[in-house]
């Protein structure tokens, strides 16, 4: 079975632009979480979606938004990009909302110039 897949692998944007990152969870997994990993730091929780509803949000500005589709794939949107948004964005899926193991994708590397 395929693992968590994220696209694109790399992305270069300029300040003020908008970006959409995509994630396909492991087949059968209904929960998707997003994390931001700035270079040299540990991942930070952004959002969790389960059954197409937002179930948790980390300490990120409203420029960050996400959604989950009926097939449980997910998109993360970031508006009005800042230089500080440059990071590796990781998607994780799990079979259930809680008490389960999160499986991570390889991430999308976003560079904001």
| Near another protein by CB under 8 A: residue from 24, 35, 78, 87 | 35
Assess 8 for contact with another protein (CB under 8 A): no
How many whole angstroms separate alpha carbon 85 and alpha carbon 70? 28
Minimum Å gap between C-beta 41 and another protein is 6
Cβ distance to another protein smaller for residue 61 or 98: 98
Sheet strands side by side (includes 64-68): 5-7, 19-24, 74-78, 64-68
Site residues for another protein, 41-100, by CB under 8 A, read 41-45, 48, 50, 55-56, 58, 90, 92, 94, 96-100
Antiparallel, parallel or unpaired: β 10-13 and 31-37 = unpaired
How many whole angstroms separate alpha carbon 18 and alpha carbon 9? 17
Peptide bond into 8 cis (omega under 30): yes
**Contact residues for another protein, defined by CB under 8 A:** 4, 31, 33, 35, 40-45, 48, 50, 55-56, 58, 90, 92, 94, 96-107
């Amino acid at each position: 079975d395929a693992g968590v897949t994220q696209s694109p692998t790399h992305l270069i944007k300029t300040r003020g632009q908008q970006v959409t990152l995509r994630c396909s969870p492991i087949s059968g997994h209904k929960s998707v979480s997003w994390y931001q990993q700035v270079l040299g730091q540990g991942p930070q929780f952004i959002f969790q979606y389960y059954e197409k509803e937002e179930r948790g949000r980390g300490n990120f500005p409203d420029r960050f938004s996400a959604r989950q589709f009926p097939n449980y794939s997910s998109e993360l949107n970031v508006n009005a990009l800042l230089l500080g948004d440059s990071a590796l964005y990781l998607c994780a899926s799990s079979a259930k909302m809680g008490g389960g193991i999160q499986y991570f994708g390889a991430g999308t590397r976003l560079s904001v110039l």
